[in-house]
A and B are shown apart, each in its own frame.
Chain A
């Protein structure tokens, strides 16, 4: 069974750094793209970017380029989303999701499997 298990909720202060994780299991982690999606409180879904763990090819939405860093450690089947300096506007639920298809050319594949979400709260 494919599973994406995300790290727990975080409460941080503005200016602090943060790295949240998404651990994949039940499939070949290196051959499927993992995407990250933001959902601000009471709002819709926003695509942030994707990573191919096999070679760490990473692509960002223009809205999030330079604001976050997506990475992966294939040795432990885990993808990451990190911030260098959090802002109150980063308060949101963050989901990781896996594409339905495998291979490096599947970067535009739809998301069939989703993590449970990580709630990030940034408040002074």
Chain B
């Protein structure tokens, strides 16, 4: 059971907008930044969003993040086939003094 809660799956057709939610608590998302990682099949996780809504260099602006209270979300607009991957949210947890992750959301492009 992951500390952060994500839906196990999400899907959309090419060009659509998909949103993934991430729910936490007052010891993690409520007081710290949220991060999103993309994991393509058979590869290591890749940082997609940092500090709630910032994109590292090279990440398309189709990806956007937001946070409100103890929840966060990742939106993928203009969905493309290459976006098929697992997406994980993460935050530092002050009570555990460590990183906590969501269980991951598998995005399928129909």
Question: Does the CB pair A45–B104 fall under 8 Å?
Answer: yes
What separation, in Å, do the CA atoms of A117 and B47 have in the docked complex? 15
Total interface residues on A, CB under 8 Å, equals 22
What separation, in Å, do the CA atoms of A35 and B37 have in the docked complex? 15
B contact face: mostly helix, strand, loop, or mixed: strand
Interface string of B77-110 (1 = CB under 8 A from A): 0000000000010101000111111111000000
Question: Does the CB pair A114–B45 fall under 8 Å?
Answer: yes
What separation, in Å, do the CA atoms of A45 and B46 have in the docked complex? 12
A residues 69-117 touching B (CB-CB < 8 Å): 95, 97, 100, 108, 110-112, 114-117
What separation, in Å, do the CA atoms of A122 and B2 have in the docked complex? 24
Total interface residues on B, CB under 8 Å, equals 23
* B63 at interface, CB cutoff 8 A: no
Question: Does the CB pair A95–B45 fall under 8 Å?
Answer: yes
Question: Does the CB pair B98–A110 fall under 8 Å?
Answer: no
Contacts A/B (CB < 8 Å), 21 sampled: A43-B103, A44-B2, A44-B102, A44-B103, A44-B104, A45-B37, A45-B45, A46-B101, A49-B98, A59-B97, A59-B98, A62-B96, A95-B44, A95-B45, A108-B99, A110-B50, A110-B90, A112-B50, A112-B56, A114-B44, A117-B44
The 9 A-B pairs of least Cβ separation, nearest first, read A47-B99, A114-B44, A44-B104, A45-B101, A108-B92, A44-B103, A61-B98, A110-B35, A47-B98
A37-B45, A59-B97, A112-B50 given; 5 more Cβ-contact pairs under 8 Å = A44-B2, A47-B101, A62-B96, A110-B33, A111-B47
